Chains A and B, each alone.
Chain A
Amino acid sequence: MGIKDRLKTGIQKNLNQRYIKRLLGIMSVKPVLYAYGKTFPSASDRYLNIFTIESLKKAYSGSNRPVGYGSLFVPFEMFYALGITPFLPEVMAGFTAGLGLAPQTLKEASSNWYSQDLCTFHRSASGAVELDLFPRPDYIITSNLACDAAQKSFYMHSLKYDIEKNFYLIDVPYRYSEESLRYLTSQIKNICTDICSKTGKKLDISMFEEAIKLSNELRKLAIEVGSLRKTLVNYPPSFNGLNFIMPFHGLAGTKEAVILYKEIYKDLKKYLDKQHKEGPDRNKPAKRILWLHLKPYYRNEIFDILYRENCRVVFEEINHVYWPELDYKKPFESLAKKMLSNFLAGSIDNRIDITLKAARDYKADGTILFSHWGCRQSNGGARIIKDSLKKLNIPTLVLDGDCVDQSNSSQGQVKTRLQGFIEILNS
């Protein structure tokens, strides 16, 4: 049994926070972490997993207080600037699926009256909170950006931990305007000031400046990675752009994110150079797939099938850099701009625009929209996105499934739909 399977079995057998904490303690000892890192074939995967372990260890250790829960689209730069150790329950819900724990966390959520209709990222995270598997938060910061479930379920977490007064909901206006920018800027500034008054620390603008400079570095590198991918076909076999959602958001504002994206760039550049040297396979050019929304995080065959059938996911919408370069001299306004620029905020037209642009830029032959159960913000737009892509003669597969709950879709049906779509692309 390999190290990953041993980890999985260990957590499955000892589903409690003490065990997770102890495991993370062992895992983050340098030689162990190094050995674990070596199990990943590429440097970017290695760094991604090492940084994830280190960040989880900090959140679980108890000695890096305060710990703050953050939903995916809040600007994590503010966490680092405020000295809050971030913890991302939605990302952790993906881990529960990967570790085979989702059946237990989902069951626990159901027992606690969380609706079966609720997105399983939030349901599984809520189950984990109920089971006391996550570190206790001191602060919770969420937003109404894109996701309706986050603001409600994160509020429930604040009740569970009796920190209702430390629950902050960032209200992101529907439209981008000077007024909405001012409104959002003042909210972010007020949250930061309020947290500082509670922690007794002075608001240190230099920390914000540093986090924003690092965030800009990440942004620049993510754009460069995207540029490489416009012509790249021969990806490292283990590469999956959908794995980088955590660092793209949760590590924004850290040195780790910059190191990781440099490694991603290097990994892909190596393959692009190889591709240039060998020339593209003219006999059987790969089909280029644009991926919308997320993927199942439990063991599944989707990406193996795509690879086997000579299809390459050339870009994922979650990796789109949607915000402008941030002005470190105006940290609160910059973070507000970042949130307001999110293509999932406001009208569906914003998402359509970036989808069509990505389809053109990455020369997509087809698009797959993974329609995650309960995710209204994504599924609601499926039809109009499909129709818009059709005007560019790009077929779209709306693949119904669930990112976290394996029992919510049949692998056989997913496979048939996927293969049927590939046959259409090849016809």
Chain B
Amino acid sequence: MYTCGIDVGSVSTEVVILDNKDNKIVSYVIALTGSDSKNAAKAAFESSLIKAGLKDSEIKSIVATGYGRINIPFADKNITEISCHARGAVSSFPDLKTVIDIGGQDSKVIKLEGGNPIDFLMNDKCAAGTGRFLEVMAKALEIDLEEFTPIFNKTSDKVDITSTCTVFAESEIVSLIGHGIDKNKIIKGLIYSIADRITTMVERVGLEEPVCMTGGVAKNLGVVRALEEKLEVRLNIPDEPQITGALGAAYLAQSLL
């Protein structure tokens, strides 16, 4: 028997199919959401079935999460990304007390007790402190986002980025480049500015170890290192941090059976 979790985010859609026998991930898919979240979810679900070699009738329950969760007609239930990320992270690290999730346009900190969320905080309406912020800056710097981590590691100095607003930060970067500032120092400064913003959120909720980081930005080891330094903790990262919400949704779908 299988369950499925679908996390429809603003940037990407993730699908996880879970085998209830042994809680093993049978397949997962990460796809771009694009402008039509409903069809993106359907296409990603179908791809995950093909990858797993399963028919949709073999999926016994589906939970949708993420901002597009209410728009998935074939899901049995929708549950917020807060509960799903918490559940997904706990499946990798059972004793977790704090989850930091940084997604495309959303960042959140979840406090856990006995594996269940007891409090949370999400970023406010702007894109500061999210993956989108890094994407926009990478574009402004004309540097591939994947280059950020090696640059972070090899650069010792940083330039402070004072603007939190993504649009203003972009102008600030253009101005810094215009002043001949080393791009590597700007990148290091950008990474620290995200870490600063997330650190404030973590402190508001209250930091307790063990801590896990999830979401696409957890793949950026520069951000991970900067956060570890600011928070003075070691961050646990799941093997594929981007599918944590979908994985949690697949686990929560088990309770519908």
Contacts and interface: CB of A to CB of B under 8 A. Distances in A.
Interface string A392-427: 000100001000000001101100110110011001
A410 B119 contact: no
Interface in B43-81: 67, 79-81
B67 A395 contact: no
Given A412-B67, A416-B67, A416-B81, A424 B122 contact: no
A187 B81 CA distance: 54
Interface residues of A, number: 13
Interface string A222-233: 000000000000
B67 A420 contact: no
By secondary structure, the B interface counts as mixed
Is the interface on chain B under 10, 10 to 19, 20 to 34, or 35 or more residues? 10 to 19
Contacts of B82: 416, 420, 423-424
Contacts of B120: 417, 420, 424
A410 B125 contact: yes
A427 B116 contact: yes
Interface string B115-128: 01111101011000
Contacts, number: 36
A419 B117 contact: no
Nearest to B65: A416
Given A410-B125, A417-B122, A427 B81 contact: no
A3 to B, nearest CB: 31
Given A424-B117, A427-B117, A416 B83 contact: no
B124 A395 contact: no
Interface of B: 67, 79-83, 116-120, 122, 124-125
11 contacts: A409-B125, A410-B125, A412-B67, A413-B125, A420-B80, A420-B81, A420-B82, A420-B117, A423-B80, A424-B117, A424-B120
Interface of A: 395, 400, 409-410, 412-413, 416-417, 419-420, 423-424, 427
Given A413-B125, A420-B120, A424-B116, 9 more contacts: A395-B119, A400-B124, A413-B122, A416-B81, A420-B80, A423-B80, A423-B82, A424-B82, A427-B117
- Can you list the 8 inter-chain pairs with the closest CB atoms, starting with the nearest? A420-B82, A420-B80, A423-B83, A427-B116, A419-B80, A416-B80, A410-B125, A424-B117
